[in-house]
Structure 1
Amino acid sequence: MALPRTDTVVSYPTGATDGTGTVLHIEPVGERFAVLLDATPCHPVDAGWPDQGSDRATLTWNGGSADIVDCIVAATDGSLLYLGGDIPVRKGTEGWTFVVAHLVTDAPPVGQVVTVEIDAKYRRSLSLGHTGCHLASLALNRAMTGRWSKEVRTDALGTPDFDAEANDTSRILERGSLDTYRLGKSLRKKGFSTEGIAEALPGIETEVNTTLADWVAENAPVRIDRDGDRLTDRRYWVCTLADGEARIACGGTHATGLGELGSLRATLTLEDADGTPVLTMRTAQD
Structure 2
Amino acid sequence: MFPVTATRVLFADHQTQAPATLQACVAATSGGTWLVTDQTPFHPVSHIWPDHPADRGTCDIAGVPYPVIGCYTGAVELASGQLFVDQAIPVKRSEPGWVFVVVHRIAETVTAQPGESALLQVDATYQQALSRGHSAGHLSSLALNQVLHHDFWRKDASRKDELGHYDFHGYAQTQSRVTEDCSTDTYRLGKTLRKRGLNSADLIQQLDVVAERVNMLLETWRQGGAAVTMRCEGPALTDSRYWQCELIPGSLITIPCGGTHVRSLADYARITVSFELKGEQELVMITRTAAADES
With the shorter chain as reference, the TM-score category is over 0.9
SS across alignment from 2:95? coil
For 1:144 and 1:203, the matched residues in 2 are separated by 11
C-alpha contact (below 8 Å) 1:125/1:175 kept by paired residues: yes
Give the deviation of 1:40 after TM superposition. Answer: 0.5
Unpaired segments ≥5 residues, structure 1: none
The one-letter amino acid paired with 1:236 is Y
The one-letter amino acid paired with 2:23 is L
For the pair 1:41 / 2:47, whether they are aligned, the reply is no
For 1:152 and 1:18, the matched residues in 2 are separated by 44
SS across alignment from 1:132? helix
Give the deviation of 1:61 after TM superposition. Answer: 1.9
Give the deviation of 1:2 after TM superposition. Answer: 5.0
Task: Show the counterpart of 1:113.
Answer: 117
- Bigger shift: 27-36 or 184-193? 184-193
C-alpha contact (below 8 Å) 2:56/2:126 kept by paired residues: yes
SS across alignment from 1:69? strand
Alignment CA distance shift 1:255-1:63 (3 Å)? closer
Unpaired segments ≥5 residues, structure 2: 291-295
Task: Show the counterpart of 1:32.
Answer: 32
Task: Show the counterpart of 1:154.
Answer: 160
Task: Show the counterpart of 2:254.
Answer: 247
Note the 1:38-77 alignment, pairs <5 A.
38-77=38-77
Task: Show the counterpart of 2:136.
Answer: 132
Alignment CA distance shift 1:263-1:35 (3 Å)? same
Task: Show the counterpart of 1:261.
Answer: 268
Alignment CA distance shift 1:183-1:89 (3 Å)? farther
For the pair 1:232 / 2:238, whether they are aligned, the reply is yes
Deviation digits for residues 11-43 of structure 1 (CA, Å, limit 9, x no counterpart):
001000000111111221131211111111111
Task: Show the counterpart of 2:207.
Answer: 201
User: What is the Cα-based RMSD across aligned positions, in Å?
Assistant: 1.6
For 2:73 and 2:193, the matched residues in 1 are separated by 31
Task: Show the counterpart of 2:96.
Answer: 94
For 1:160 and 1:3, the matched residues in 2 are separated by 48
C-alpha contact (below 8 Å) 1:205/1:266 kept by paired residues: yes
For 1:89 and 1:32, the matched residues in 2 are separated by 25
Q: % of aligned pairs identical?
A: 34
Give the deviation of 1:271 after TM superposition. Answer: 1.2
C-alpha contact (below 8 Å) 1:167/1:182 kept by paired residues: yes
Aligned residues between the structures: 282
The one-letter amino acid paired with 1:83 is V
For the pair 1:20 / 2:19, whether they are aligned, the reply is yes
Give the deviation of 1:63 after TM superposition. Answer: 4.0
For 2:158 and 2:88, the matched residues in 1 are separated by 33
Give the deviation of 1:82 after TM superposition. Answer: 1.7
For 1:75 and 1:104, the matched residues in 2 are separated by 18
For normalisation by structure 2, the TM-score amounts to: 0.91
For 2:156 and 2:84, the matched residues in 1 are separated by 42
Deviation digits for residues 242-275 of structure 1 (CA, Å, limit 9, x no counterpart):
2632111111111111011111100012111xxx
C-alpha contact (below 8 Å) 2:68/2:104 kept by paired residues: yes
Task: Show the counterpart of 2:293.
Answer: none
For normalisation by structure 1, the TM-score amounts to: 0.93
Alignment CA distance shift 1:210-1:20 (3 Å)? same
For the pair 1:284 / 2:291, whether they are aligned, the reply is no
- Bigger shift: 110-119 or 72-81? 72-81
Deviation digits for residues 33-65 of structure 1 (CA, Å, limit 9, x no counterpart):
111111111110002111110111100022422
For 2:156 and 2:45, the matched residues in 1 are separated by 36
The one-letter amino acid paired with 2:125 is K
For 2:88 and 2:261, the matched residues in 1 are separated by 28
Alignment CA distance shift 1:83-1:189 (3 Å)? farther
Give the deviation of 1:109 after TM superposition. Answer: 2.6
For the pair 1:191 / 2:190, whether they are aligned, the reply is no
